[in-house]
Amino acid sequence: MIIVLKPEATEPEIEHIMDRLQELGLKSHISHGQERTIIGVIGDDRILQNQPLTALPGVESVLAILAPWKLVSREFQKDNTVIDVGGVKIGGKKIVMMAGPCAVERLELTVDIAQEVKAAGGSILRGGAYKPRSSPYSFQGLGREGLDYLLEAKKKTGLPVISEILDTRDIELFLEKADIIQIGARNMQNFELLKEVGAYDKPVLLKRGMSATIKEFLLSAEYIMSRGNRNVMLCERGIRTFETQYRNTLDLAAVPTLKELSHLPVIVDPSHATGKWNLVAPMSRAAVAAGADGLLIEVHSNPECALCDGEESIKPSKFKDLVQDLKKIAEAVGREV
Amino acid sequence: MIIVLKPEATEPEIEHIMDRLQELGLKSHISHGQERTIIGVIGDDRILQNQPLTALPGVESVLAILAPWKLVSREFQKDNTVIDVGGVKIGGKKIVMMAGPCAVERLELTVDIAQEVKAAGGSILRGGAYKPRSSPYSFQGLGREGLDYLLEAKKKTGLPVISEILDTRDIELFLEKADIIQIGARNMQNFELLKEVGAYDKPVLLKRGMSATIKEFLLSAEYIMSRGNRNVMLCERGIRTFETQYRNTLDLAAVPTLKELSHLPVIVDPSHATGKWNLVAPMSRAAVAAGADGLLIEVHSNPECALCDGEESIKPSKFKDLVQDLKKIAEAVGREV
Amino acid sequence: MIIVLKPEATEPEIEHIMDRLQELGLKSHISHGQERTIIGVIGDDRILQNQPLTALPGVESVLAILAPWKLVSREFQKDNTVIDVGGVKIGGKKIVMMAGPCAVERLELTVDIAQEVKAAGGSILRGGAYKPRSSPYSFQGLGREGLDYLLEAKKKTGLPVISEILDTRDIELFLEKADIIQIGARNMQNFELLKEVGAYDKPVLLKRGMSATIKEFLLSAEYIMSRGNRNVMLCERGIRTFETQYRNTLDLAAVPTLKELSHLPVIVDPSHATGKWNLVAPMSRAAVAAGADGLLIEVHSNPECALCDGEESIKPSKFKDLVQDLKKIAEAVGREV
Amino acid sequence: MIIVLKPEATEPEIEHIMDRLQELGLKSHISHGQERTIIGVIGDDRILQNQPLTALPGVESVLAILAPWKLVSREFQKDNTVIDVGGVKIGGKKIVMMAGPCAVERLELTVDIAQEVKAAGGSILRGGAYKPRSSPYSFQGLGREGLDYLLEAKKKTGLPVISEILDTRDIELFLEKADIIQIGARNMQNFELLKEVGAYDKPVLLKRGMSATIKEFLLSAEYIMSRGNRNVMLCERGIRTFETQYRNTLDLAAVPTLKELSHLPVIVDPSHATGKWNLVAPMSRAAVAAGADGLLIEVHSNPECALCDGEESIKPSKFKDLVQDLKKIAEAVGREV
């Protein structure tokens, strides 16, 4: 941590700052430059990042040297984390296709889609039982019953299941019925939920918040890991910008950046990122080319009647074609689908 | 709802759209323009806003006519909602000052600050017992004990208390100990929490999410009201933009806009909005001039040692001066402090 | 155009609106719905988009039906525009590599880089002679001399040259010395410059403004085309968002979106988009996978001494490897490099 | 400047960095911390801000100590700059009202509005002769003729005139006919135009770009001042964010921030900032309360027929009422209108 002093900082102010650092158990080192005096703090930067140092008289600005996360960092673990979900390896050479309906609606439909997803080359079944919807008047999901439908589809197809949790009170249910627990974008900083899923070793897919920086995203993953759960995947799903042409702006530079800063697998969700079915294929291709470890795609047999997000769902036949395309791109970047 | 068709839309596609609308119980009306054919839908727009109409072949775009909320709207209730919190009226002529420490730290400190807040002209005591922090390594609040300290301060001063809830499992605790339950920015779309606080009539202060549109903000308030709770206040606390000079960008145009669209009281939090103590006073003045019904301000006796957000806290003496300034501005706009 | 009336709009207000439309030479059609009355305007939407209709008493909102551009639209021209620049076809099956230094610095260096770019598979030489820099104290480019160096490099290699114009007064110079005139992001809405380059048929590469919507971007291209110049390319170069990890956020969903809305070629600049040399390769791969017609890449023999944007420049050897990688991805999407 | 090294940086890499700094004429100072080694650079930070230091092997990040501007800074000049425009002082105790039509349309109308502006308490007349419009099909202004109308209105009322320049080729015209030259938001980084107006001492009002940071805004002002022109005013006019409820998001925290960092006068434009006439009054009140030195407001006798931006224009009678309101708020903050 570097503390930059105001040009007019007085001696007593400087002493007061040094005292405060000592109280916090830190050593410091003062250096008088041509235009500014700076104080270098020796010791763990991270303690200081929670201290209101700019509230001290005489301080102009504070510059952090270290990233505020530990366990998620590539510095902490050089090798990629590979997560095993019922035999499916996430984070290895093979790029994993997770697909299924936005919301679970009916049992037969769920099983049908699951079978089509499997036949097309998908290896994880996605489906929302509890749905976070902007409006209280929108379909809110089938809840517990939806999870049962997913389990039934899993029995029929062998596909492990990913579904989103919304409430800490549902943790037991998800531990029992889901293979991967999804934390949605709106809950990326629902810290109580992060702590809760952090207490088990059930794999977690953490979506980036709508306006979360890479830094905040990794800190939220750190919340989960710091409670003991090492099976965390990061999911880029578009960020909010001024552009209104698509629902969100897919930030693909996040993929190589997250892979550089962290050892965790990185998944991309092109469906929620764009909100438009005709952008799903080109953005899936781009995500694989950018280095994603997996894709999370909405597939529905009848998008125009889907109870949730039909605009962004693709039909099973299109999904099948897409997987074929992706095989070629994966090969071009030394991976496989 | 207006459905705009693609220039190349075929007759069977148009019939299919009309059939789909009929299935949904809606009447429609086709109109052939010079460059586009459009379908006007008669009936409640809001049902359709959840339907994936752009997934229908032949549809170019869909334009909504009605706002998607009801209970929160000025159209639904012409008069301002005035909420009574232990005798303090929020939403009336008097602008309400809510102040106190970001986080509750020690009992005596809490009581001291409460007394200073009261003496300076504050009428509600704020204080965080459960703190949502970006990093798992930051101080997370005293929890239940923090709420007890606030209650103690209330006993000593008579000031009603506002504190933030983070978890649905804590609802009983907050119903018992807080006078206003705060839903923070990060939980504005934690819909399970919204539903939970909506089930009682305890006043709720709902903060705007970091990247929430006015529309989403009002829909979240609608979640609470649609469950029966009419005592909702809206709080503008800055939005996330590209500017890094301050923590967030305070969006004061939201104040008159929310007052126009809704009948609910509008509070402004200049402390979190800016993250800088020296911007709190000018932004408080601006908020009152823009028409805010109240302010939520961080006050701490010793900001440089505060366990949370000391950078943005002002000392009790500064708060006192500020309240005096605000009296004059309130008078200039026909209100009082 | 659809005009939505306020629920409380009076008869005289409605008549006044109808009169105003008639004055503007437009026919209209009133329709009384359950909750709102709407007026459909028959005729060219685009005239109305410049009229302050929401200033009319009784108007709640105005919804546009047609896109505000014409000449740039896919509706106006079904086939892709292919631009011939000294024999290099831009917008066809082959994806075009434009590469070179951010700023032209010395003659030999420019010629050297040009030769390496050509050897690696590049077909257009980029180089800035006039540099738009945020600070007046940064290197501002060699000006006219820089253009001469580029011409010299063109003579030696046969590579056509692209360079950025900053001032309408330099148009003659660029018409004479450049093969493609670049309009940079900061000048995307410098309308006088757009009109100026629109008056000739010299190819123009128009960069998307830092915070320009797709709509504004296409309108700026329309400015150029409406003056007669049909040789326009669109260049996505990242938009400004809250994320500070990279210089800008590369918006790759813009690529298929622009290709759908317009017939113009779409180029991607991964260097300025990210501001980091190690993101250039993954973002180039992603851009090709997303459907880009070309890439604009900064290549410098000695990035650490570059006078401009060395952080984002790659060495010729890396550029050569990248072109090889891109060949495979291009093939996977049915194109070639 | 602080250079933070990667944990794995090698000795030769470190030596190479030190050599590079020496080449640039700078002294440096190495310091080995617990987790990172850092190099402190002694000397003028600003030279280094243009060097691609992160391109050097072994460098993790680079932290700037000094702001990159000089002449605009409060550090450079403690006292407020007060600009005299034909007897009207801008930047002093009195808050200056600049008002008039968005675009100059007809001579009589211009003179009429000028007279009403004066009668209501305005002291500068605004009016656009050259209009930057997103669409080539929108009214582009009367050009030279418009400037003549403004001059005529000035003769009749004595009000000095502000108008926007779009092209370096028009500089003579503006020097002759305008009292203040406005650089619009879209041209904030049209550096050739900045240099041009910097070469004279004619007062310049520089608007903040739609997505310009405070830092970039001040650097653009520095461009003008570094050419010799000291008569620069800064104008906050809203920034682009995700919110679509208003045209832009007025960033009022910029007002006290700019006043703290710089000695230049700060003006607020509530009309363009919001794009809605009914937000002009509350945002004007808030701007004065926040410390603005002046307001730039669109006033039009017949907004619904205005050729440009009628949606955001207020009628002269409303402007008159507003000035009365602002007098009270100005008094409350120790200023006058």
Q: Which domain CATH number covers B164?
A: 3.20.20.70
pLDDT in tens, D165-210: 999 999 999 999 999 999 999 999 999 999 999 999 999 999 999 9
- Residue at A320 is within a domain: yes
pLDDT reading at C46 higher than 70: no
B216 vs A134: CB contact, 8 Å cut-off?
yes
- Residue at A281 is within a domain: yes
Find out whether C153 and C110 touch, Cβ atoms under 8 Å.
yes
Domain boundary among the residues C34, C63, C92 is at: C63
Alpha carbons C149 and C127: distance in angstroms, whole number: 10
User: B42 touching D, CB under 8 A?
Assistant: no
Task: Please enumerate in sequence order all residues whose Cβ is within 8 A of that of A176, keeping only pairs 6 or more positions apart, or say none.
Answer: none
Please check whether residues A194 and A264 belong to one and the same domain: yes
pLDDT in tens, D1-41: 788 899 889 999 999 998 888 888 888 888 887 778 888 88
Least confident residue range of A111-125, A244-258, A305-319, B227-241: A305-319
A45 vs D35: CB contact, 8 Å cut-off?
yes
Residue among D227, D216, D156 at smallest CA distance from D189 = D216
User: C210 touching D, CB under 8 A?
Assistant: yes
User: B251 touching D, CB under 8 A?
Assistant: yes
- Band the pLDDT of A26: cuts 50, 70, 90: confident
Least confident residue range of A64-68, A86-90, C11-15: A64-68
Average pLDDT for D89-96: 98
Please check whether residues D254 and D218 belong to one and the same domain: yes
Find out whether B200 and B229 touch, Cβ atoms under 8 Å.
yes
User: B35 touching C, CB under 8 A?
Assistant: yes
Average pLDDT for B231-238: 98
CA distances from B197 to B70, B160, B170, B191, B212 (A): 19, 18, 11, 10, 20
- Residue at D73 is within a domain: no
- Residue at C72 is within a domain: no
Q: Residue C31: what pLDDT?
A: 83
Cα of C73 vs its chain's centroid, Å: 14
B256 vs D278: CB contact, 8 Å cut-off?
yes
B253 vs D246: CB contact, 8 Å cut-off?
yes
Angle at C188 between CA C183 and CA C189, to 5 degrees: 135
Please check whether residues A55 and A190 belong to one and the same domain: no
Please check whether residues A317 and A191 belong to one and the same domain: yes
A46 vs B166: CB contact, 8 Å cut-off?
no
- Residue at C74 is within a domain: no
Average pLDDT for A50-77: 87
Residues in chain C with CB shorter than 8 Å from the CB of B43 are 34
A contact test, residue of C74, C255, C329 with most A CBs within 10 A: C329
Alpha carbons B310 and B300: distance in angstroms, whole number: 8
Highest mean pLDDT among A45-54, A63-72, D234-243 belongs to D234-243
Alpha carbons B248 and B56: distance in angstroms, whole number: 40
Least confident residue range of B315-319, C49-53, D274-278: C49-53
CATH code for the domain of C12 = 3.30.70.1140
Q: Please state the domain count of chain C.
A: 2
Q: Residue B2: what pLDDT?
A: 85
pLDDT reading at C45 higher than 70: no
Please check whether residues A57 and A108 belong to one and the same domain: no
A65 vs D242: CB contact, 8 Å cut-off?
no
pLDDT in tens, A292-318: 999 999 999 988 888 888 888 999 999
Domain that holds residue C317: 83-332
Please check whether residues B96 and B19 belong to one and the same domain: no
Residues in chain B with CB shorter than 8 Å from the CB of A187 are 190
Residue among A196, A228, A221 at smallest CA distance from A206 = A221
Token pair recorded at residue C139:
């290197």
Least confident residue range of A50-64, A280-294, D46-60, D244-258: D46-60
B45 vs C38: CB contact, 8 Å cut-off?
no
Please check whether residues B53 and B114 belong to one and the same domain: no
Residues in chain A with CB shorter than 8 Å from the CB of B47 are 137
How many of the other CB atoms lie within 10 Å of CB of A37? 17
Domain boundary among the residues C31, C63, C95 is at: C63
Q: Residue B44: what pLDDT?
A: 67
User: C40 touching B, CB under 8 A?
Assistant: yes
Nearest CA in chain B to D257: B279
Alpha carbons D308 and D141: distance in angstroms, whole number: 9
Distance from A82 to chain B by nearest Cα, in Å? Answer: 24
Q: Residue D88: what pLDDT?
A: 98
Alpha carbons C108 and C111: distance in angstroms, whole number: 5
Residues in chain A with CB shorter than 8 Å from the CB of D35 are 44-45, 65-66
Distance from A162 to chain D by nearest Cα, in Å? Answer: 31
Task: Please enumerate in sequence order all residues whose Cβ is within 8 A of that of B63, keeping only pairs 6 or more positions apart, or say none.
Answer: B1, B2, B4, C2, C63
Question: How many CA atoms lie less than 13 Å away from A236 in the CB half-sphere?
Answer: 29
User: C302 touching D, CB under 8 A?
Assistant: no
Please check whether residues D101 and D11 belong to one and the same domain: no
Q: Residue D315: what pLDDT?
A: 95
Q: Residue A191: what pLDDT?
A: 97
Average pLDDT, chain A: 94
> What length does chain B have?
337
> In chain D, which ranges are E strands?
2-5, 27-32, 37-42, 59-63, 83-85, 88-90, 96-100, 124-126, 161-165, 180-183, 204-207, 232-236, 266-268, 294-298
Alpha carbons D245 and B239: distance in angstroms, whole number: 14
Distance from B179 to chain A by nearest Cα, in Å? Answer: 22
- The DSSP call for residue C187 is G
- Residue at B115 is within a domain: yes
Please check whether residues D108 and D213 belong to one and the same domain: yes
List D5's β-bridge partners, or say none: D59
Please check whether residues A291 and A201 belong to one and the same domain: yes
- Tell the residue number behind the tokens 């317009």, with chain if given: C262
Q: Name the CA radius of gyration of chain A, rounded.
A: 23
- Residue at B316 is within a domain: yes
Please check whether residues B217 and B322 belong to one and the same domain: yes
The string over D116-138, giving b where at least 16 C-beta atoms fall within 10 Å of a residue's C-beta and e elsewhere, is: bbbebbbbbbbbbbbbbbbbbbb
Locate all alpha helices (DSSP H) within B121-261, ordered by sequence. 144-157, 171-177, 191-198, 214-226, 254-261
pLDDT reading at A33 higher than 80: no
Closest to C167 (Cβ–Cβ): which among D192, D277, D303? D192
- Band the pLDDT of B203: cuts 50, 70, 90: very high
- Residue at D72 is within a domain: no
Average pLDDT for B297-309: 88
Please check whether residues C89 and C232 belong to one and the same domain: yes
- Tell the residue number behind the tokens 């929302």, with chain if given: A128
